[in-house]
């Protein structure tokens, strides 16, 4: 199960959940590939600039070798066991603190996402170059470079989706309140007229319909992402409230 769902130790009725990069594979993948695409784009620009300068001096092969060694080193550190210790060893001589805990997890995700997108974008650009040089297509390398460029706005969409799918909160059935964190917000179910949920992968998108007493607008989120079991509990609470009225 991706998301953390638990009952509060002090209140058995309170249901807590956390959906972020540390508990949800979907959020983690979207964030990793989104951030990785931007890092990969910057890396490719820097690499080609250095390669062009070095090639003029006859040292283009050296830049390729250094870049490949850097990628292999990052991949090895990110995937080998005890990443924190290996990273601390590498950064020991440098005046920087090696990340740890969740910071290290996000750094590893960003590194792996960058390498994955480097492979994808590099492959597209390489295929486009071969097609252009050998004149295999009348349009040349355009479709391949265009597809590589399209990955940048898609990465932004991935980051927006990762932010939308991220959710940390708690449901207190006794009080009839949904508590959301980051930012902190409390939603009283008494002002909710109806709720419907739609399952999307390992999450449920809950749409809330607010009551409008005297035609007044009630502020609050209209859609919340939460675990499916919490969404069912919210709908059940609202149904019981409606039947009791």
The pLDDT, as a whole number, for residue 1 is 47
The pLDDT, as a whole number, for residue 9 is 44
Start and end residues for every CATH 2.30.29 domain found in the chain: 4-20+166-244
The pLDDT, as a whole number, for residue 89 is 67
Tens digit of each residue's pLDDT (9 = 90 or more) over 213-222: 777 888 889 9
Per-residue pLDDT of the chain (245 residues), as tens digits, is 455 666 554 454 789 999 888 888 889 999 999 999 999 999 999 998 998 899 888 888 899 999 999 888 888 877 776 676 666 666 666 655 666 677 778 888 999 999 999 999 989 888 888 877 777 776 677 788 888 889 999 999 999 999 988 999 999 998 889 999 977 899 999 899 889 999 988 889 999 999 887 778 888 899 999 999 999 999 999 888 877 76
pTM score = 0.78
The reply to whether omega before 139 is within 30° of 0 (cis) is no
> How far is 229 from 4, CA to CA, in rounded Å?
11
> How far is 221 from 181, CA to CA, in rounded Å?
12
Domain 4-20+166-244 has CATH 2.30.30: no
């Amino acid at each position: 199960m991706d998301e953390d769902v638990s009952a509060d130790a002090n209140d058995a009725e309170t249901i807590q959940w956390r959906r972020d990069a540390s508990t949800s594979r979907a959020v983690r993948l979207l964030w990793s590939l989104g951030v990785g695409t931007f890092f990969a784009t910057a890396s490719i620009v820097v690499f080609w600039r250095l390669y062009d300068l070095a090639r003029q001096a006859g040292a283009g092969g050296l830049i390729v070798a250094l870049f490949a060694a850097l990628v292999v080193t990052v991949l090895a550190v990110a995937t080998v066991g005890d990443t924190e210790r290996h990273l601390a060893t590498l950064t020991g001589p440098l005046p920087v603190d090696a990340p740890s805990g969740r910071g290290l997890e996000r750094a590893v995700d960003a590194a792996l996402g960058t390498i994955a997108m480097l492979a994808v974008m590099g492959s597209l650009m390489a295929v486009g170059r071969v097609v252009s040089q050998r004149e295999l297509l009348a349009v040349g390398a355009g479709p391949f470079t265009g597809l590589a460029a399209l990955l940048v706005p898609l990465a932004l969409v991935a980051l927006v989706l990762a932010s939308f799918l991220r959710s940390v909160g708690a449901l207190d059935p006794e009080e009839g309140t949904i508590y959301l964190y980051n930012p902190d917000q409390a939603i009283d179910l008494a002002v909710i007229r109806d709720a419907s949920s739609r399952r999307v992968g390992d999450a449920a998108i809950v749409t809330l319909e607010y009551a409008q007493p005297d035609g007044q607008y009630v502020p609050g989120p209209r859609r919340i992402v939460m675990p499916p079991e919490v969404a069912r509990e919210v709908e059940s609470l609202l149904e019981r409230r409606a039947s009791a009225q």
